[in-house]
Structure 1
Amino acid sequence: MTYKSLWFPLGAVLIWAGNTVISKMSAGVIAPEDISFYRWVLAALLMSPFLARPTWAARAQIRPHLGKILVLALLGMVLFQSLAYFAAATASATSMGIIASLMPLLTLVLSIKLLSEPPTVGTLAGGILSLFGLAVLIGRGHPLALFDQGVVTGDLLMLLATIAYGLYGVMLRRWALPLRTWQLLYMQVLMAVVLLFPGYVLGHHSPLTRENLPILLYAGIAASILSQFLWMRGVQYLGASRCAIFVNLMPVFTVIIAVVALGEQLHGYHAIGGLITLAGVIMAQVFKQRLRWRTG
């Protein structure tokens, strides 16, 4: 491992953090259904010259897995990002970034059920701690206020988006489709375009302007393609487990970018709730001792 290799996962996480801020910037500038559709159309157009022919040549190997690819596209590219765009209307980029930091923990929790992985001390303790941190964040520093005031719609949508992407990661591992990585990604992008087309046709259209075009280009190129390239290179050089640690930096990057780019104010509940949530996520990753239930 060389220090230069660290820039691959670091760059990917930085782009993802920026994409959270981009999602917030898109609110009121371009309709969620439009940017959701346009970004994957753009990604498909850019990938097709390199991947269309080899993917078509491998159609016999791909065909039996189309149903599973459709589910993966629905979870990881349609639900996750579309819900995030709708969440941006009422949630701050800072809150969205902190909620998204739950993804590694949610993946571990979902793996217990779907991959039959044994629960660990870290998963249980970290899960409880992260839920408390999330309650502090969503309750704006007053967790019990959730019972009286309810939940901000945007925060709830972002939580659902994060659950969808956590499920995407688990199903990707469970199915382990025997396809080339870039061809699998390309097929998911094409499926996402098909799935998002009805919503685009029926939705409220936003014209492309000088204000929203840079947002679309970032989402379609940096967040959809470049980040995937950097992450896969990082996994190649460092391994999946080492790269996963870098995901914990995403809320930190998101907060910094949101404060600088959007002028968002960092409140005490952001810091406290975010630190508690992040501590729970790290605890789940570090403490691997299996839970042992007493019987009799």
Structure 2
Amino acid sequence: MLNNRLLVVTALAPVIWGSTYLVTTELLPPGRPLLAAVVRALPAGLLLVALTRQLPRGSWWWRSLVLGTLNIGAFFALLFVAAYRLPGGVAATLGALQPLLVAGLSTGLLGERPTRRTLLAGVAGVAGVSLLVLRSDARLDALGVAAAVGGAVVMATGVVLSKRWTSPAPLLATTGWQLVAGGLVLVPLALAVEGPPPSTLSAANYAGYGYLTLIGAALAYTLWFRGIRALSPTHVTFLGLLSPVVATLLDWLVLGQRLGGWQLLGGAVVLAAVVTAQRRTLGRTAANNYQPLTTSPRATDSEVV
């Protein structure tokens, strides 16, 4: 039961991320994705650091920078390039490679060998996302494809390293460090590409940015990293496939976009892949690794890489 509750709670993170597509298009000023990424990460990180009043110690200064760059800074930047140079369906389909990448990296860095079921579920997940969001007239761009694949690689690496490097600090503090690091990496890029923020913002803009900061980052990333601490990173990353499903569902419910038969089939395949990937005996792992939000793991700051 503990394992099931953890999976459901962790799944809330990609569900929330699926809603950020709608928030971005409907509430935020157009043409400012990097500004949205900075506002999403940096204020949320500063808020969590202020609440916990803890700064990194020892090796966790550079580890926080590495993890924040991988999970947030580099990932958002590459996602930005892919979004501008590829149709959304192509970018989402390439991003769906992440569970397979995590499974491969976990073998080398964590000693977790993927099962045949996991690999088949990963392939099914990619197929399901492609049916859900890919269009027949989608065009390919070499740089865009490289950015989308690179985004999946850096995020997968960040997920696995987040499991390998267990922070001695409370979860909220560690999450805050990564959000701050990722946001600081994005600031110069956002200024160089998009220029300074708009001089005037509407109430809808403020509402959208507030949602991205408090819900899309502070809450969602805390739940995500909590799941990584307690569960196998391969199982956690499969939950990320829920994001395009939620985004498509919200487009249908809120924007009135039509859902075809192939999209419905793709959504069903994605859900089946997510469920299939979780069908392992994880209770012992979850019970041994579970950490409440207010406690610290037993690892020490001198833990070696």
Q: TM-score, normalised by structure 2?
A: 0.69
Q: Are positions 1:256 and 2:249 aligned together?
A: yes
* Structure 2 counterpart of 1:270, from 260, 263, 286: 263
The separation in 1 between residues aligned to 2:207 and 2:60, in whole angstroms, is 35
What residue identity is the alignment partner of 1:17?
G
> Are 1:195 and 2:185 matched, yes or no?
yes
- Identify the residue that residue 176 of structure 1 maps to in structure 2: 166
1:204–1:246: structure 2 CA closer, same or farther, 3 Å change rule? closer
Would you say 1:107 and 2:99 are equivalent positions?
A: no
What are the within-5 Å matches in structure 2 for residues 18-167 of structure 1?
18-25=19-26, 29-51=30-52, 53-55=53-55, 59=56, 62-89=57-84, 91-92=87-88, 103-133=98-128, 136=131, 140=135, 150=140, 157-167=147-157
- 1:222 maps to what in 2? 215
One-letter identity of the residue aligned with 1:199: L
Check conservation: 1:87, 1:154, Cα contact below 8 A.
yes
Does structure 1 conserve the Cα–Cα contact (< 8 Å) formed by 2:92 and 2:129?
no
What's the offset of the Cα at 1:195?
Answer: 1.2
Counterparts in 2 of 1:99 and 1:261: CA distance versus 1, 3 Å: farther
Q: 1:13 to 1:126 in 2, by over 3 A?
A: closer
Query: CA separation of 1:49/1:125 partners in 2, compared to 1, >3 Å: closer, same or farther?
Result: closer
Asked whether the equivalents of residues 10 and 246 of structure 1 are also in contact (C-alpha less than 8 Å), the reply is yes
Q: Secondary structure at the match of 1:177?
A: coil
What are the within-5 Å matches in structure 2 for residues 209-248 of structure 1? 209-210=201-202, 211-230=204-223, 240=231, 244=236
Sort the Cα spacing of 1:203 and 1:284 in 2 relative to 1 into closer, same or farther, 3 A.
same
Structure 1 residues 272, 28: closer, same or farther in 2, change over 3 A? farther
CA contact (8 A) 1:91 1:154 kept: no
Q: How far does residue 73 in structure 1 lie from its aligned partner after superposition?
A: 0.6
Instruction: From the superposition, tell whether residues 158 and 38 of structure 1 become closer, same or farther in structure 2 (CA, over 3 Å).
Output: same
| Structure 2: runs of 5+ lacking an equivalent | 282-305
Deviations 1:9-47 (A, max 9, x none): 464443222124334557861412222222223213433
Q: How many angstroms apart in 2 are the aligned matches of 1:220 and 1:272?
A: 33
> RMSD of the TM alignment (CA)?
4.0
Write the deviation string for residues 235-261 of structure 1: whole angstroms up to 9, x where unpaired.
Answer: 99xx636x9486564443222212233
Percent identity, please. 25
- The alpha-carbon distance between structure 1 residues 263 and 84, as it changes in their structure 2 partners (threshold 3 A), is farther
User: Aligned to 1:140, what secondary structure does the other structure show?
Assistant: coil
Counterpart-to-counterpart distance in 2, 1:111 and 1:78: 22
Inter-partner Cα distance in structure 1 for 2:212 and 2:22 = 11
Deviation at 1:224, TM superposition (A): 0.9
Give the AA of the match of 1:240.
L
Q: Deviations over 1:75-128 (max 9, x none)?
A: 111122333345445544x77667656544442233123323223111333334
Can you give the 5+ residue segments of structure 1 that lack an aligned partner in the other structure?
289-296
Q: 1:49 to 1:286 in 2, by over 3 A?
A: closer
Equivalent position SS for 1:54: coil
Give the aligned residue type for 2:124.
L
> SS of the counterpart of 1:179?
coil
Q: Distance in 2 between matches of 1:68 and 1:224?
A: 19
